[in-house]
A = this chain, B = another copy of it.
Amino acid sequence: MLHRSHNRAKARLEIHAPVFAALGDETRLALVVKLARGQAYSIAQLTEGSRLTRQAVTKHLRVLENVGMVRCRRTGRESLFELDPKPIEEMKEYLEYVSGQWDQALARLKAFVER
């Protein structure tokens, strides 16, 4: 059972890099925090409070959309964006895998030293 989650995490490593990259920007990181509040926000709403242009924010939103962290639906004259938590769960799985491996390595080292 531990073996299964191991393979699952390893099989999906390729998918993760672009998702991590999407969060590798302060603006996008902040957007995700705002979107995590659960509502759907228009581009104008998401631009408000930022020192950036609306178009800059739009670009960031498209990046998030392309990696599947955000979904967009047109409603009237505005585009509403809302979070999709699945990629975040995948990132958590990856990090759990890495730190799990690390912890096991430390445990083996400890057992070896104490022998």
| Residues of B with C-beta under 8 A to A56 | none
Copies of this chain in the oligomer: 2
Partner of A33, one of B22, B38, B98, B106: B98
Shortest Cβ distance from A108 into B: residue = B38
**A43 interfacial contact with B, CB 8 Å:** no
Main SS class of interface, A: helix
Residue-by-residue, is A67-108 near B (CB-CB < 8 Å gives 1, otherwise 0)? 000000000000000010100110110111111011011101
Known: A18-B24, A37-B101. 12 other contacts (CB 8 A): A14-B26, A20-B24, A21-B25, A37-B105, A38-B102, A38-B109, A83-B102, A88-B95, A91-B95, A92-B92, A92-B95, A95-B95
A interface, CB within 8 angstroms of B: 10, 13-14, 16-18, 20-26, 29-30, 32-33, 36-39, 83, 85, 88-89, 91-92, 94-99, 101-102, 104-106, 108-109
